[in-house]
Structure 1
Amino acid sequence: MTKYSLELKLKAVLTYLEGMDSFRTVANQFNISLTPLKQWVAHYKEHGIDGLMSTYTNYDISFKMDVLNYMNDFGVSSTHAAAVYNIASPSTITNWLKQLEEYGVDALETKKKGRPSMKKETKKKPVEG
């Protein structure tokens, strides 16, 4: 996925919110795809400039369930829920939903990524006697 600067995101969003041009026109003007622009506008409307800042977060299981319950209770899309909860990508929520449906709540538990750390060897004391 292409990374866009905060400055570009903000300019594109504000241009769209001026109300003079359509999503497609603004997307073409800034040479960006339509989908990210729509997501940026939704995030900006919910959270202001903070909604446009890139973040990487590990979400705990209770947060994930809150988001999924919100979607279920209000019948909203993952795109809408992502904007409300300030989650960068709606596909993250879609993945949580699939995990929940296929494997249950335990599948939403965050798993450690990468190699396991090497355990330090304990030095054995020679047996005296």
Structure 2
Amino acid sequence: MKLPSHRIALLLLPLVLAATAQAQTVYRCGNSYSQQPCPGGNAIDATDSRSPEQRKAREASVKREQRSADTMEKTRQKEEAAALRAAEQTAKAERTTEKDAKKSATNKSKTAPAKDKLPAYRAPATAK
């Protein structure tokens, strides 16, 4: 089962916070970051500078966003299922209509052909 990216991010968030809580030196090497020094790399202070209130507010925000995402996903799945059922019902109705049309065409060909009636204006004149 593949986890959605937002769930993976939530799973990794505590690990990232725990890693940054320790006083580790992080080096910026060009556009990448490493725990090991590199030539021309700069040491960066990677400690979490947020207050406990800010951390709690962010965690609450992440939980709200997760609930919202879960709700939207469930709604989307229900809508897709309903659309699929509607499409299946439409296809079934079309097949039934086609079968009925074939059946009536077959029944018409089995009956005796009706004599063609000419309209009154085209009817042959009768002799008097």
TM more than 0.5: no
Greater strand proportion: 2
- TM-score of the aligned structures, taking structure 1 as reference length: 0.24
